[in-house]
A and B are shown apart, each in its own frame.
Chain A
Amino acid sequence: MEILTNSHTPPHTCNNSGEGARAVPLAGHVGFDSMPDQLVNKSVNHGFCFNILCVGETGLGKSTLMDTLFNTKFEGEPTQHNQPGVTLKSNTYELQESNVRLKLTVVNTVGFGDQINKEDSYKSIVEFIDAQFEAYLQEELKIKRTLHSYHDTRIHACLYFIAPTGHSLKSLDLVTMKKLDSKVNIIPIVAKSDAISKSELAKFKIKITSELVSNGVQIYQFPTDDESVAEINSTMNSHLPFAVVGSTEEVKIGNKMVKARQYPWGTVQVENENHCDFVKLREMLIRVNMEDLREQTHTRHYELYRRCKLEEMGFKDTDPDSKPFSLQETYEAKRNEFMGELQKKEEEMRQMFVQRVKEKEAELKEAEKELHEKFDRLKKLHQDEKKKVEDKRKSLDDELNMFKQKKTAAELLQNQAQQAGGSTTLKRDKERKK
């Protein structure tokens, strides 16, 4: 099979966009107005995925809000307050409404704000978000890739839960949001807002917005370029941050069952717009801007990550002479460089190893020599001792022999004396003794 591929000559492309695209009127019904339908049908068959990250201190009602938003009881018990660090727990659920299948992933920050030293709290969150981008980048860079069936785990929206103090943002909040604003679409919300009165809430919101602006935190703005949603989006933008209340319990109000929180002094209805902004949040997050959130994540945040990552790895689009580099060339150059370094390191290690072996050998030889010497010495000692012992034994033997001789001589004499005369023996003995 003969397939022609290119060397690096600039390809001949169509002369389109810009020049040459003329507007042509149609003389009848062609039928491509069904294109949006075809596109939508394909997406429906494929299913959608949406990933939400909930960042906030323990006990601010993150899980409850997720349950309320999606009308489902997601599993999980409330977390403890004694976590040593911030971990992220993600759960994926398959939801279906009419013919739309949604793969929803909810990621919770466990232990956020519980530590005594919170300096590193934001780090695990940033790492998690980067890891999702990295996974997508890896898939995109693969040679054999399956992008259209890839389960996208990149975070599309980050709901930042602000504690309802009524005063201002905590410094932990500011620091974390500042670190996250270039990586993810941040939607700040005031949690458990039934703890604040209406007037305090208004002041709180103004304070929060001004603090965010003065610290240069870029939160997600609902898009206002499409006329059909521009008006509602811009109204909503002015209501940020949304003050929400979450509840999965139903209470009978009038003749309907509504989601609400019941207090002795009254009932806070979740879906009542006068009570809280839950409905606004649901509208914006799900019913109006879900697709835009996904698009922003892909075209802005992911592209930024990709650009930084590739530049970090040393790739450039053009070299100093502004000749376009191909990714492949740079990659090969880097790879060769890397291989070279690897080899050098290997050499070094080998040298060091040989060196150490030599040293150890020398040591061992020394020790062996010493041992031999010791052995010789001991042997000599042993021989000397042995000789001494031999000499001693010899002398002892000699003495023994002499003694024996003397003994036999003495005995002999005694016998002779006895034989000579018994009585005179005594006398003789006495005389002899004199």
Chain B
Amino acid sequence: MHKKTMEDYVPNVSKASGPGVDFSYVGIDAILEQMRRKAMKQGFELNIMVVGQSGLGKSTLMNTLFKSKVSRKSVQATAQEKIPKTIEIKSISHDIEEKGVRMKLTVIDTPGFGDQINNENCWRPIMKFINDQYEAYLQEEININRKKRIPDSRVHCCIYFIPPTGHCLRPLDVEFMRRLSKVVNIVPVIAKADTLTLEERDFFKKKIREELRANGIDVYPQKEFDEDAEDRMINEKIREMIPFAVVGSDQEYQVNGRRLLGRKTKWGTIEVENIAHCEFAYLRDLLIRTHMQNIKDITSSIHYEMYRVRRLNENNTVVAHANGMPEHHLESEEKFDSSCAASRF
């Protein structure tokens, strides 16, 4: 019976070297394994919002991305598919698991967006929803008795569906993206891209990129948040491909002896995961396999912080004007006050 000793438990330890154990090894890099363990135990959260007119394939794309029935339509039993009179915000959560990694995925759908005759201010309910999530997080954060892990319902990523007109962005698209790129990470995609030929697609993408630049719209990955040269290189490549032209499907077909997700038409089968056919794979890799953590980080350390600064300042300005004090004194004064108040007790 083999008695278990230290060496059996410690991960990647000094067993590497031969007969003499390497005594100069401290074991600091074991912290990576500890972090991984902790992350696996806690699980991850991801909140994605899909925005676009009805009929652009949002639900299908979500199902394709996560290879399961996560969209609203699959969940709700309602047979009727009436376009709602006002924009509704519907969010559904799923627990998915892959190779021991658990994730709580929340898909936020916005039926009714862009579907009315008069679409003025259709971004308002969406902005309000996003700000509400920031507000909820802020409230929990400034509580005195706060939870160990603050539940994160902030929208990490907003996928915006552009209809495949082939010409340019519509005013609604520009308006929406301009406003929302300031509060959330926007990933624009060209929906139902199988209606465009490759040349039309390239032309469309170029036009869109020009228009985004002309209007000062910063979509994910934002240029200003590139951390170092390596990041910038990777992100530049992505920026040259935006917006991704995607096709979604949750049906499998037999192609060349393999079962693949695709859309079968009379003139051929479009393979969703084939990068020669559409750019779904790039979108999936960006969102899930490589940049998921980065998306969450930008949401929490930049968008949320901006919201927090705005929110905490708006209370201050009200009082400042009442007290007749100039605003730029406020931050240092706040610190001074809090330390005075502290020393008073």
Interface set of A (CB-CB < 8 Å, partner B): 1-6, 11-17, 20-45, 48, 69-71, 95, 97-100, 102, 138, 141-145, 147-148, 226, 228-229, 231-232, 256-259, 271, 273, 279-280, 282-283, 286-292, 295, 299, 303, 306-307, 309-317, 324, 326-328, 331-332, 334-335, 338-339
Whether A138 contacts B34 by the Cβ 8 Å rule is no
B277-297 to A contact mask, C-beta < 8 Å, 1/0: 000000011001111111001
Say whether A98 contacts B331, CB under 8 Å: no
Give chain B interface residues in 313-345, CB to chain A under 8 Å.
Answer: 313-316, 319, 323, 331, 334-335, 337-338, 340-342, 344-345
Return the contact of A35 from the options B44, B227, B341 (Cβ within 8 A).
B44
Q: Is the CB of B293 within 8 A of A312?
A: no
Closest 10 CB pairs of A and B: A11-B132, A291-B34, A38-B293, A287-B27, A16-B93, A31-B289, A14-B91, A21-B93, A33-B99, A287-B30
Complex CA gap A38/B289 in Å reads 8
Shortest distance from the beta carbon of A286 to any chain B beta carbon, whole Å: 5
Q: Which of B28, B133, B142, B290 contacts A38 (CB 8 A)?
A: B290
Distance, CA A250 to CA B150, complexed state (A): 49
Chain A residue at minimal CB-CB distance from B89: A12
Q: Give the Cβ gap from B36 to chain A, nearest Cβ, in Å.
A: 5
Which residues of chain B are within 8 angstroms of A31 by Cβ–Cβ distance? Answer: 98, 284-285, 288-289
In the assembled complex, the Cα of A144 lies from the Cα of B309 at a distance in Å of: 6
Hey, which chain A residues are within 8 Å of B249, CB to CB?
none
A97 shortest CB reach to chain B, Å: 4
- Pairwise interchain contact A3-B312, C-beta atoms closer than 8 A: no
* A246 to B133 CA separation, bound complex (whole angstroms): 52
Chain A residues near B68 (CB-CB < 8 A): 24-27
Bound Cα distance from A292 to B44, whole angstroms = 18
* Residues of chain A with a CB closer than 8 A to B301's CB: 147-148
17 contacts between A and B (CB under 8 A): A1-B182, A2-B179, A4-B124, A14-B91, A14-B106, A21-B93, A23-B97, A25-B68, A29-B67, A30-B96, A34-B289, A35-B103, A40-B36, A71-B26, A282-B27, A335-B341, A338-B340
User: Which residues does chain A contribute within 8 Å of B145, judged by CB atoms?
Assistant: 307, 317
B100 within 8 A of A: yes
Contact B315 A332 (CB under 8 A): yes
Asked if B229 is an interface residue, CB under 8 A from chain A, the answer is: no
Chain B residue with Cβ nearest A312: B345
Pick the contact of B144: A282, A292, A317 (CB < 8 A).
A317
Min CB gap A41→B, angstroms: 8
In the complex, A358→B270 CA distance in Å?
Answer: 98
> Knowing that A20-B92, A26-B97 are A-B contacts, what are 6 other residue pairs whose CB atoms are under 8 Å apart, sorted by A's residue number?
A13-B132, A39-B35, A138-B335, A147-B301, A229-B9, A279-B6
Whose C-beta in chain A lies nearest to the C-beta of B40? Answer: A36
Residues of B within 8 A of A24 (CB): 66, 68-70, 94-96
Instruction: For A48, give the chain B residue with the smallest CB separation.
Output: B31
A35 touches B292 (CB 8 A): yes
Partner of B67, one of A27, A229, A335: A27
**A interface footprint on B75-100 (CB within 8 Å = 1, 0 otherwise):** 10000000000000101111111111
CB contacts (< 8 Å) of A37 on chain B: these are: 36
B-side contacts of A232, CB under 8 Å: 6, 9
Does residue B167 face the partner (Cβ distance < 8 Å to A)? Answer: no
Contact in complex: A32, B32 (CB < 8 Å) = no
Does chain A have a CB within 8 A of B2? no
Query: Is the C-beta of B256 less than 8 angstroms from some C-beta in chain A?
Result: no
User: In the bound complex, do residue B93 and residue A5 qualify as a contact, i.e. CB atoms below 8 Å apart?
Assistant: no
A86 to B141, CA, bound (A): 36
**Would you give the shortest CB distance from A28 to chain B, in whole angstroms?**
4
Which of B75, B133, B146, B293 has most A Cβ within 10 Å? B293
Provide the bound-state CA to CA distance between A283 and B80, in Å.
62
Say whether A33 contacts B96, CB under 8 Å: no
B29 and A30 contact, CB distance less than 8 A: no
Asked if A299 and B338 sit within 8 Å, CB to CB, the answer is no
In the complex, are the beta carbons of B40 and A314 less than 8 A apart?
no
A307 and B95 CA atoms in complex are apart in Å by 33
Kindly list chain B residues whose C-beta atoms are within 8 Å of the C-beta of A289: 34
Q: When chains A and B are docked, how far (Å) is the Cα of A387 from the Cα of B185?
A: 108
Per the bound structure, the CA–CA distance linking A100 and B143 in Å amounts to 35
Are B136 and A33 in touch, CB under 8 angstroms? Answer: no
Central interface residue in A48, A97, A310, by most chain B CB within 10 Å: A97
Interface core residue of A16, A232, A258 (most chain B CB under 10 Å): A16
A145 to B335 alpha-carbon distance, docked (Å): 12
B258 at the interface (CB under 8 A from A): no
Known pairs A3-B182, A3-B183; A290 contacts B34 (CB<8 A): yes
> Does B1 sit at the interface, judged by CB under 8 A?
no
Complex CA distance for A23 and B106, rounded to whole angstroms? 12
